[in-house]
Structure 1
Amino acid sequence: MRGALGGPRVLLRRLREVMAEPVSAQERLDKIVVLIAANMVAEVCSVYVLRVDGTLELYATEGLNRQAVHLTVMRSDEGLVGLVATEASAINLSDAQAHPAFSYRPETGEEIYRSFLGVPILRAGNTLGVLVVQNRARRTYSEEEVEALQTTAMVLAEMIASGELLSLAKPGAEPAVRRPVHVSGAALTDAIALGHVVLHEPRVVITNFIADDVQKELRRLSAAIETLRAELDLMLESGEVAESGEHRDVLEAYRMFAHDRGWVHKLEEAVLTGLTAEAAVERVQSDTRARMLRQTDPYLRERLHDFDDLAHRLQRQLLGYDHAPTRDKLPEHAILVARSMGPAALLDYDRNRLRGLVLEEGGPNSHVAIVARALGIAAVGEVPNATGLADPGDGIIVDGVTGDVHIRPTPDMEAAYVERVRLRARRQLQYLSLRDKPSVTKDGQPVTLMINAGLPVDLPHLAETGAAGIGLFRTELQFMVAAQFPRTSEQLSLYRNVLDAAGGRPVVFRTLDIGGDKVLPYMRNYEEENPALGWRAIRLGLDRPGLLRSQVRAMLRAAAGRELRIMFPMVATVQEFDDAKGLVERELTHLRRHGHRLPERVEVGTMMEVPSLLFQLDELFDRVDFLSVGSNDLLQFMFAADRGNARVANRFDPLSVPVLRALRLIVERGRAHGKPVTLCGELASKPIGALALIAIGFRSFSVLPSSVGPVKAMLLDLDAGKAERLVSGLMGLPLGTASIRAKLTAFAEDEGLTL
């Protein structure tokens, strides 16, 4: 049934006039409900707003008792209005009072109205309120009327989100769009940050919702969809995407959605109601997001990301935005919020202003988490719908210790966290007092504590922590932050500065570990089915010897007259190590022939990350000068559990008997061959992990700079012999009780160790 004023387009034009009038928020809402009621020939039109306390408050009405405005409040799961809010979908009834969810409120005077149409007021899939029309006569509202009400609700959503209604609310009963939100995820770093939200992929800001020329908007939409389809076709057919693999599957899914007639039809229908093309995309996507967020099927929820990406790309196409937002203009104390992110993308941001990171995806062992720890920023992963809950500029607290994220925190919550940060700072001062103390256990066992590094910003940590050196310098980070391939002279300068900063303390340079999720933007990326197991690290270096040789040459020249330690990543066979070491020998010969000053001593070692080396240990120790255990990769390969996949990354405990048996074997064979063995993975960066490792024989660790203090404080109070006797007994446990974490925790409590 078409309204007397000519349908949704006329209604939207009239709404635009009302939105532009210089009137109070309440007067604007009152005019809006009158307009909607008249347009739809409805006797009642009401707006309910979801409040911070989770209730729905009547903010405006035409047809019900106006004395009930701001007095009628109901639970968000109460009545038909609550059902619309909870389900985030329209309810269209010819006899509302016969519905089991109907709730009678005598103060409103609505008992005489039978027909009911309610639609959720949605923004980014989140319910902000409910818009309702009612009639005395029993009738079912037409699809056009439902569409008109949904379109109008979108305009109301922007009005609520703008904060215009805050002046109408009592303290503690403000609109929920600005309510404090607490969500939990996976703790990624041992740090806490307070700051303001910056979206890694900023939402498209729509300034014009109402179309002047519907046919023109349809043409704009059609052209943008065709361009989007052409771009996706080009990406899939250009040869830059492998014939198979996860990335291609994602693009194929995008292309399938982009060609879906149902999706396009919904967009066209939204435009026909009077919206601009970009507003139509926003409305359809918000409806889709609201439905999919409430799905229990994990596959369907994952497809939400595909729809989000596609809608975002289409909106940017319509408005002519670049797909890559600028990242060099961060506010002070910026907290990035993203669906997912690779380590290279994180390193693009100004690290002087970046304080934290919140991800919808990304587990504790993902590479982006490792880089976040290296940067010393607070980070939490696996936070559902983080990008839909936070708006740019929102206050936010990121607790990387517990995995808690507080968006728009209350003053009390903020004050509590400020105090926590102060306490942590005082604890760091206590650790600082240990800086110059020898790193020796209570029973006289020396333990070498070094730090992991990869950027110039890490170098001051050597002096701050009193570390014995740099046990792992990740050379790939220089390549990841550069806009183009670093010249040999640039590499040489960095390596020389690192050695200078070390001041005679040892530095272990790991050659390029790129590939997998560490992609260089200026190198062609070969899509692979299993990138973590693919063409990366030493495999890439040996296949591209020019790349590896230029890096080794820069290291050798930087270390002129000094000791140099070079380490190769992801070596799987003794032959690979021989080939890589032979390349170092050739570079030494080259420099010697050309009269360059050589290092005083060159030691060459390898990372122990691939389980195949467990069965080549004697042959390997005959060749290497030292060995470093990369526990992050070693454990994911041992358990066939992708450390970046939240579903499987936590299916095993690193402090389990199989892990400790393998690690003990490595350190025992190293001792038998007289070769030093260091563990430089995340396992050693927590006191309980370091305790277990000391107990099985490790005496050298390379850890996060922030972990030196806690690990050192623990080992100074540790009786290593007593721990070794405990763990030796536990190593014989049946594998049904594989983890020894609880036993170690109890031991630490009995011994007064701080974990």
Structure 2
Amino acid sequence: MRDSVVGPRVLLRRLRELMAEPLGPQERLDQIVRDIAKNMVAEVCSLYVLRADSVLELYATEGLNPGSVHLAQLRLGQGLVGTIAASARPLNLSNAQEHPAFAYLPETGEEIYHSFLGVPVLRAGRTLGVLVVQNRTMRTYRDDEVEALETTAMVIAEMIATGDLARLSRPGMELDLRRPVSFTGVAFNDGVGLGHVVLHEPRIVVTNLFNEDSEAEIRRLDAALGSLRLSIDDMLSRREVAFEGEHRDVLEAYRMFANDRGWVRRLEEAVRNGLTAEAAVEKVQSDMRARMLHMTDPYMRERMSDFDDLANRLLRQLLGRSPDDVAAALPKDSIIVARSMGAAELLDYPRDKLRGVVLEDGAITSHVVIVARAMGIPVVGQLKGAVSMSENGDAIIADGEDGAVHLRPQPDVESAYAEKVRFRARRQELYRELRSKPSTSKDGVHIDLLMNAGLAVDLPQLADSGAAGIGLFRTELQFMVAATFPRAEAQERLYRDVLDIARGKPVTFRTIDIGGDKVLPYFKGAGQEENPALGWRAVRLTLDRPGLLRTQMRALLRAAGGHELKVMLPMVTELGEVAQAREIIDREVRHLSRFGHLLPTSLKIGAMLEVPSLLFQLDELMEAVDFVSVGSNDLFQFVMATDRGNSQLADRFDPLSVPFLRVLRRIVEAGKRANRPVTLCGELAGKPISAMALVGLGYRSISMSPASIGPVKAMLTELPVGELTAFIDENLAGNSARLPMRALLQTFADDRGIPL
């Protein structure tokens, strides 16, 4: 190319003129490839566009056989063009035919050309096509020529994205733009949401691409970078940002990136090549995102999210937009689509506008999923590519029953789901009618149906669901959504509100259960652990940091003055931990008594049975505590050596298997021998079929999400417990179960008309 600065600017100026001319889409494309070839002194310039069926079709060419346009095609990953599209990386080759990925297309006549430069046509990190130049002589294209072609590809990406080329598509061969897409992920929370996409990290669409004055755009960029750096410094200086912790580490990383000379230099180069400051940010970030998407290193993938956020902040500075503007414009049927997000971030969205959450990552035990469950919002996770395929405002359906997500659904799919939503609404009406009725089985056995909670947003559902009380109040959620450790006064205020709203119904508070996968950004813990689920967490952590437990117990004791207080210790492994915790709690009782504070009318200390070691000291455990709660999520994970966050194992082991049901029966039988109440909390209690199994095993108290109480109560009212107990005992005895227990239980219910 003749000049590293003039060349791209001349080409961009010519493209801008072409965009303004009244040309048809094919005529415009043909002229674009001619101008690119002329500007870059190339004998060939070709544009391939990615179709919805993952095929790259030749849409325009200068130099190749014109009769091959719309006929020559390559699959994604096939040939040099397919390799570029699949990897989102340019290829610069002096002799293309020696490359192992080279594929000969005889209809194009390209066999006489040796040098090859191809760049992906990218928009927001998503590949829309490939732009290629070729020459007969063997040469390697210079870096400034690669930069010029990438900049040109960005302009073409906007042409494709606006739908200008749609008229050139043949039926059944539409472009990969607004086509319907269906994903299959993992259902994290029940429910069906119909609505419109709201990207959690919304991309700002840049429409002003070409600059009139490079130096003025450089000044705009410098001013925006200065404002960005000041805003990050301001966040770091605020009192609520801890001096240590992951939250501060992220902001420090932002500051480092915002001052990174390599990043700034690439932005300035893009501006000098003719782009506006905002278009330069979009181009550099799109290039970086496309490359980093293919990295397997989790650390580098996390840095991608940091750069994405930083680029969005810089775009907002350039365009003068505030995050509050985005929140105000949310549709009334918003479905949040995110790579990942924190619990606090979900609570920032107005609840009345949320219809669902779609996550590329996450697990059923993720903090954001726990909060969404409390809010009654359907969640589907582990949907790779959902963010890059979505645009703000796209129609979307999130099915929290079977893990399906339909983006830009066809009308018949939308109609089918609308009917499904109406059916669910009628079923919910039935559950509301059951709310005031006793939770008693068909043969008169009473079962306490309790709810799990953890935030103030959960509390109204105590009355709405008809729950008999709160069987598990996860106190750590207050810590997880805060920027710093909640003060004792804030903890006391929440606990008092919980007890006041409960109006005498029982509430079991679990002491703070952090560590493992529940990381507080402001708490410097044990650092990176190889097996966090088996590491420094829950009661192990609070006994090593007794100040945490003392502060929390003081808040609980003060809040429960004049009420019964039930406190449960999580992840107890041996009885010595119960004794140590009792000593700390007794010390706080004595302290408050000495200063004349009103104390609880009774104090009951329980243990959460999650660790298999307690199975071998059950009788001693029942003597050491006032009650036991079975944490079925972790207990199943440890008994079956199954990582519950691993999607590859999600369907491999069944909690209703014979071995695990025998474990659960041993626990409830030990409780009966010692006359100690036993409650089961966890996912197992929230599904009618597994709740039915628990009742048959002898559990008379189970705790679940508020939304599960209606379906479980509907099952219970039709359940003959006596028959079920005998049925389960028979099939758990010896090895007589020929079919899986789940199938046997389903048959039992079907034969008796029990709704599951």
TM-score relative to the length of structure 2: 0.81
Give the aligned residue type for 2:474: R
Match of residue 304 from structure 2: 308
Distance 1:208 1:455 in 2: 45
Give the aligned residue type for 1:309: S
Q: Larger deviation: 378-387 or 194-203?
A: 194-203
Identity %: 56
- Encode CA deviations 1:113-158: one digit per residue, 9 max, x unaligned: 86776544233443313434567x6767745656543432222113
Match of residue 181 from structure 2: 181
Deviation at 1:26, TM superposition (A): 6.2
Match of residue 11 from structure 1: 11
Match of residue 393 from structure 2: 393
Aligned to 2:638, the other structure's residue is in SS state helix
- Encode CA deviations 1:587-634: one digit per residue, 9 max, x unaligned: 444444444443333322221122232233222211322111111122
Deviation at 1:104, TM superposition (A): 6.1
Q: Larger deviation: 441-450 or 55-64?
A: 55-64
Contact 1:471/1:508 (CA < 8 Å) preserved in 2? Answer: yes
Distance 2:459 2:87 in 1: 53
Match of residue 603 from structure 1: 604
Contact 2:36/2:45 (CA < 8 Å) preserved in 1? Answer: yes
Match of residue 697 from structure 2: 696
Give the aligned residue type for 1:602: L
TM-score relative to the length of structure 1: 0.81
Distance 1:206 1:336, change over 3 A: same
Contact 1:3/1:39 (CA < 8 Å) preserved in 2? Answer: no
Distance 1:11 1:735, change over 3 A: farther
Distance 1:682 1:239, change over 3 A: same
Name stretches of at least 5 consecutive residues in structure 2 with no aligned partner: 237-241
Distance 1:403 1:216 in 2: 46
Aligned to 1:356, the other structure's residue is in SS state strand
Deviation at 1:300, TM superposition (A): 3.1
Aligned to 1:177, the other structure's residue is in SS state coil
Distance 1:658 1:371, change over 3 A: farther
Aligned to 2:712, the other structure's residue is in SS state helix
Deviation at 1:357, TM superposition (A): 1.8
Match of residue 446 from structure 1: 446
* Aligned residue runs from structure 1 range 588-667, under 5 A: 588-648=589-649, 651-667=652-668
Match of residue 433 from structure 1: 433
Aligned to 1:538, the other structure's residue is in SS state helix
Deviation at 1:686, TM superposition (A): 1.0
Distance 1:511 1:103, change over 3 A: same
Deviation at 1:398, TM superposition (A): 1.2
Match of residue 708 from structure 1: 709
Deviation at 1:426, TM superposition (A): 1.0
* Aligned residue runs from structure 1 range 485-524, under 5 A: 485-524=485-524
Aligned to 2:491, the other structure's residue is in SS state helix
Match of residue 333 from structure 1: 333
Distance 1:337 1:301 in 2: 23
Match of residue 719 from structure 2: 718
Distance 1:289 1:481, change over 3 A: closer
Deviation at 1:675, TM superposition (A): 0.6
Distance 1:338 1:468, change over 3 A: same
Contact 2:214/2:271 (CA < 8 Å) preserved in 1? Answer: no
Contact 2:479/2:485 (CA < 8 Å) preserved in 1? Answer: yes
Give the aligned residue type for 2:301: H
Aligned to 2:662, the other structure's residue is in SS state helix
Aligned to 2:296, the other structure's residue is in SS state helix
Aligned to 1:436, the other structure's residue is in SS state coil
Deviation at 1:723, TM superposition (A): 2.8
Give the aligned residue type for 1:177: L
Distance 1:338 1:582, change over 3 A: same
Name stretches of at least 5 consecutive residues in structure 1 with no aligned partner: none
Distance 1:148 1:268, change over 3 A: same
Distance 2:556 2:302 in 1: 44
Contact 2:55/2:75 (CA < 8 Å) preserved in 1? Answer: yes
Distance 2:315 2:423 in 1: 48
Aligned to 1:449, the other structure's residue is in SS state strand
Contact 1:5/1:39 (CA < 8 Å) preserved in 2? Answer: no
Distance 1:27 1:701 in 2: 69
Contact 1:556/1:564 (CA < 8 Å) preserved in 2? Answer: yes
- Encode CA deviations 1:726-750: one digit per residue, 9 max, x unaligned: 3334435569999633333333333
- Encode CA deviations 1:278-333: one digit per residue, 9 max, x unaligned: 8678657756765776x7xxx837576246236436746876969x9779655433
Aligned to 2:619, the other structure's residue is in SS state helix
- Encode CA deviations 1:160-191: one digit per residue, 9 max, x unaligned: 22445557768876532222221111111111
Distance 2:495 2:676 in 1: 25
- Encode CA deviations 1:560-584: one digit per residue, 9 max, x unaligned: 4333322222222322222323343
Distance 1:289 1:517 in 2: 27
Deviation at 1:706, TM superposition (A): 1.2
State whether structure 2 residue 362 is matched by structure 1 residue 366. Answer: no
Deviation at 1:407, TM superposition (A): 1.9
Distance 1:164 1:348 in 2: 37
Distance 1:303 1:494 in 2: 37
Contact 1:277/1:318 (CA < 8 Å) preserved in 2? Answer: no
Give the aligned residue type for 1:422: R
* Aligned residue runs from structure 1 range 155-170, under 5 A: 155-165=155-165
Give the aligned residue type for 1:182: S
Distance 1:676 1:715 in 2: 20
Distance 1:117 1:477, change over 3 A: closer
Give the aligned residue type for 1:129: G
Distance 1:399 1:82 in 2: 33
Contact 1:657/1:735 (CA < 8 Å) preserved in 2? Answer: no
Deviation at 1:20, TM superposition (A): 6.6
Contact 1:198/1:334 (CA < 8 Å) preserved in 2? Answer: yes
- Encode CA deviations 1:2-44: one digit per residue, 9 max, x unaligned: 6999644532343355457787766754543332132134465
Q: Larger deviation: 673-682 or 171-180?
A: 171-180
Aligned to 1:352, the other structure's residue is in SS state helix
Q: Larger deviation: 3-12 or 592-601?
A: 3-12
Match of residue 459 from structure 2: 459
Match of residue 414 from structure 1: 414
Aligned to 1:195, the other structure's residue is in SS state strand
Distance 1:648 1:340, change over 3 A: farther
Distance 1:711 1:5, change over 3 A: closer
* Aligned residue runs from structure 1 range 229-248, under 5 A: 240=244
Q: Larger deviation: 313-322 or 479-488?
A: 313-322
Distance 2:461 2:306 in 1: 43
Distance 1:95 1:508 in 2: 69
Distance 1:61 1:748, change over 3 A: same
Deviation at 1:394, TM superposition (A): 2.5
Deviation at 1:204, TM superposition (A): 6.4
Give me the CA root mean square deviation: 4.9
Give the aligned residue type for 2:14: R
Distance 2:490 2:310 in 1: 40
Distance 1:186 1:737, change over 3 A: farther
Distance 1:733 1:76, change over 3 A: farther
Give the aligned residue type for 1:383: L
Contact 2:374/2:457 (CA < 8 Å) preserved in 1? Answer: no
Match of residue 565 from structure 1: 566
Aligned to 2:423, the other structure's residue is in SS state helix
Deviation at 1:469, TM superposition (A): 1.3
Match of residue 471 from structure 2: 471
Match of residue 683 from structure 1: 684
Distance 1:565 1:4 in 2: 74
Match of residue 751 from structure 2: 750
